[in-house]
Structure 1
Amino acid sequence: MAKVLYSATMSLDGFIAGPSGDMSWLADYLGPNETAERLVDRIGALLVGRRTFEGDDPNRGTEKEGALEGAWQGPQFVLTHRPTVPPPTGTTFVTDVASGVAAASAAAGDKYVNILGADVARQALAEGLIDEILVFVAPVLLGDGTRLFAYPGGSTVRLERLSQSESPLATGIWYRVIRP
């Protein structure tokens, strides 16, 4: 059975994208990372938000363009209320997070459904659908942008650290979501 993982690289001050969704900052912090490289083969499907799907790829136009620096290929589910017709090959549009997680889980089999995108992760956490969170903390302060997790008026999400790893460009921290 698939587990649902939210993974992202964030700045030390908690942003996964700069102002207006700018991802160019991330290019300086991508590179050799054993934890990220091992993760690729453990992912069975992606669930991403529309902004992430259409967003700024710091590797655009290179051989590393795409999810997980272009290393991952497989089914992708995009949470949106504005699907494009026809969808790109390997992409399915879904309109709510619960059906998106269910469809991606069915496609993932016994591998991870990897959520990319802060808003999708916020919705999935609110519905108790995320099992684990993997955050790579880059040594940079962005000052503004899209937070890893923002839920004004929301409740606390408790986490248990499963592991921590170091790479030359980021510190990885893997958590399990503690459900009440």
Structure 2
Amino acid sequence: MGKLQYQCAMSLDGFIAGPGGDMSWMVAHLGPNPAMDEVMNGTGALLVGRRTFGGDDPYKDTENEGEPYGGGWSGPQFVLTHHAPEAPVPGVTFVGDLAEAVATARAAAGDKYVGVLGADVARQCVEAGELDEIYVLVVPVLLGDGVRLFDHPGGMNVKLERLGLVEAPGATNLRFRVLG
């Protein structure tokens, strides 16, 4: 079964989205990144938080708006939510339970990664002991406010082991194993 890997871009000051979920900051930093291309090719399914699924899109007003990774990836998506839309969305399954969402996404991914998208769903996976890895592109920008990479009120000490560091134009790719 596929490993769960939190996949995101982050500002140097620790935000994956700006205030109100704004992702427009990322547009200036999107570009060729062979290491990230490998991650996308190794991803078999996505486990997405509801706010991420319905939120701001860095590809807004382009032909790739609404497409995971700007159209660079395709496959099954599982959205964790208690409020599924009435109309079905092609290629997307809405799941109300974390354990069920994780199991279904792992099965769909096969031997590939389950890409976890969204800070809240990633936090829930950490708390449940389900998150295996974190893959983060550190982008040279300071946002000052927004959605943090990891936020746990009261704090939580999660030990990580660095598995990789790759420099790319406009970003530093970091990969960690979650130890607990």
TM range (shorter): over 0.9
Q: Which region of structure 1 is more displaced relative to structure 2, 125-134 or 78-87? A: 78-87
1:149 corresponding residue in structure 2:
150
Identity %: 59
Give the Cα separation in 1 of the matches to 2:59 and 2:141.
19
Contact 1:98 1:124 in 2 (8 A): no
1:146 shift after superposition: 0.2
Output the amino acid matched with 2:161.
Answer: E
2:40 corresponding residue in structure 1:
40
Give the Cα separation in 1 of the matches to 2:88 and 2:80.
12
Q: Which whole-Å deviations, capped at 9, do the CAs of 1:27-76 have from their partners, x for residues lacking one?
A: 01110111111111111100001111111111123233321121111100
TM-score by length of 2: 0.96
Output the amino acid matched with 2:61.
Answer: G
1:13 shift after superposition: 0.4
1:70 corresponding residue in structure 2:
71
Give the Cα separation in 1 of the matches to 2:64 and 2:172.
21
Output the amino acid matched with 2:11.
Answer: S
What secondary structure does 1:62 align onto?
coil
Give the Cα separation in 1 of the matches to 2:23 and 2:48.
16
Q: Which region of structure 1 is more displaced relative to structure 2, 25-34 or 65-74? A: 65-74
1:165 corresponding residue in structure 2:
166
Give the Cα separation in 1 of the matches to 2:83 and 2:96.
9
Give the Cα separation in 2 of the matches to 1:130 and 1:21.
23
Contact 1:83 1:93 in 2 (8 A): yes
Number of equivalences: 179
TM-score by length of 1: 0.96
1:153 shift after superposition: 1.9
Q: Which region of structure 1 is more displaced relative to structure 2, 57-66 or 162-171? A: 57-66
2:176 corresponding residue in structure 1:
175
Q: Which whole-Å deviations, capped at 9, do the CAs of 1:72-119 have from their partners, x for residues lacking one?
A: 111000011110123201110011221111110011111000000000
Give the Cα separation in 1 of the matches to 2:19 and 2:167.
27
1:6 corresponding residue in structure 2:
6
Q: Is residue 110 of structure 1 aligned with residue 114 of structure 2? A: no
Output the amino acid matched with 1:128.
Answer: G
2:124 corresponding residue in structure 1:
123
What root-mean-square deviation, in Å, do the aligned CA atoms of Structure 1 and Structure 2 show? 1.0
What secondary structure does 2:103 align onto?
helix
What secondary structure does 1:114 align onto?
strand
Q: Is residue 25 of structure 1 aligned with residue 33 of structure 2? A: no
1:174 shift after superposition: 0.3
Q: Which ranges of structure 2 fall in alignment gaps of 5 or more residues?
A: none
1:94 corresponding residue in structure 2:
95
Give the Cα separation in 1 of the matches to 2:122 and 2:159.
15
1:155 shift after superposition: 2.3
